[in-house]
Amino acid sequence: MSLVDAAGATAESTFQNVPIIDLANIKSADPDIRRKLAGEIRDACMKVGFFYVSNHGISEDLTSGALEAAKEFFALPLEKKMEIHNKKTSNFKGYSPVLSGNNDPNGAGDMQEGFEFGWEAPWTYDDFSQSEDDAGGAMAGANIWPTDVPYFREQALGYYHAAVILGKSLFPLFALALDLKEDFFDDKTQHSAALMKFLHYPPQAGPVDERVIGIGAHTDWECFTILWQEPGIHALQVLNSENKWIDAPPIDGTLVINLGDQFARWTNDVFKSTVHRAINRSGVRRYSIPLFFGTDYSVRLEPIVSCISPERPPKYDIITAGEYVKSRLQATYNH
């Protein structure tokens, strides 16, 4: 079935849960096995826009190192954190205090604080070759790091580089899922427009103002997000087409992958960029680590030919990935 026909066939359906996809065969030498895996991803992308991945290859050590760094940073006094406030930088990197961001235009601020950074060359992986800069995107330019937490940068970048490797290995599967050649995204992802964020959600007790929740209802902006959630704490919810919030709790040994608006634009909405939100009613602090993976900022988000037809004309104006991300950053942080 063509992509456009398959999208039409799933348009009326909705989902009640988020599927789990096993990535054990991601590097299989057998193209049929890779294609089968891509088929599972295609199904999840068209029906849900969210899936969990198991056997994703990111070690527990890297994850716990990053988590410890994040916890120590957020425990610093506010004045210390404000020294690297993201409003002091032109590229939106650095610290965002509680309520400084607002992802849902109908909301009144997100009940979370964050720290965001982007690509920086690793010094421990000799085989990791990558250009440092990226054609002037909104988030291009140096990262800004806290100086009060020992090994913060190392711990953060250790997890980041492992997640970037995972992200790069997913692009060929997304390409296969879209009936494209596996290398379709290679020349569009040369500069790793990959932004990672440490998030800290204070607990919200008692009656919660629906306009001030951990992160208000939103879609992500890049191609896809690789999300680590703290085990044991339910907070993330995904909106289905019946406007029902479906829980996406942490599942041991998995990460969440969700599609963002760049993929919706590439695929003319054949792949779904699904609305989601998080509310921390657990009574304890919650941490999460999204890594937003886009194409290079200079790449034009043109619909893939197999995703348009006379019945499904292009839905979006063509802009570059960088223009799109910048417009969303400005709306969220009011810069």
Ligand X SMILES: O=C(O)CCC(=O)C(=O)O
Q: Are 286 and 246 in contact (CB under 8 A)?
A: no
Within 13 Å, how many C-alpha atoms sit on residue 285's CB side? Answer: 11
The one among 144, 178, 199, 259 contacting ligand X by CB under 6 A: 199
Q: How far is the CB of 109 from ligand X (least distance, A)?
A: 14
Residue facing ligand X at closest CB distance: 288
Q: Name the DSSP letter for residue 209.
A: -
49 or 172: CB nearest Fe ion: 49
Q: Which of residues 211-230 bind Fe ion (CB under 5 A)?
A: 220
- Alpha-carbon distance of 194 to 181, in angstroms, equals 22
- Phi-psi region for residue 306, left (φ > 0), alpha (ψ -120 to 50) or beta? alpha
From the list ligand X, Fe ion, none, partner contacted by residue 199 (C-beta under 5 to 8 A by kind):
ligand X
* 229 binding partner (options Fe ion, ligand X, none; Cβ < 5 to 8 Å by kind): ligand X
CA distance 146 to 154: 12
Least Cα distance to 165 among 132, 221, 122, 228 occurs for: 122
Contact (CB, 8 A) for 47 and 13: yes
CB of 96 to ligand X, least distance (A): 11
Q: Given the complex with Fe ion, which of 156 and 236 has the nearer CB atom? A: 236
Pick the piece of the chain touching ligand X (CB under 6 A) from 138-146, 229-237, 262-270, 322-330: 229-237
**Contact in structure between 69 and 152 (CB atoms under 8 Å):** yes
- Asked if 246 is part of the footprint of ligand X (rule: CB under 6 A), the reply reads no
In the list ligand X, Fe ion, none, the entry touching 236 (Cβ below 5 to 8 angstroms by class) is ligand X
Kindly give the pairing relationship between strand 50-54 and strand 20-22. Answer: parallel
Which of the residues 194 through 213 are near Fe ion (CB under 5 A)? none
Q: Which amino acid is at 234?
A: H
254 binds ligand X (CB under 6 A): no
Q: Which residues in the 262-321 window bind ligand X by CB under 6 A? A: 276, 278, 288, 290
Q: Is 216 in the site for ligand X (CB under 6 A)?
A: no
Q: Which residues lie across from 50 on neighbouring strands?
A: 258
Q: Which residues bind Fe ion (CB under 5 A)?
A: 220
Q: Which residues bind ligand X (CB under 6 A)?
A: 199, 215, 220, 227, 229, 235-236, 276, 278, 288, 290
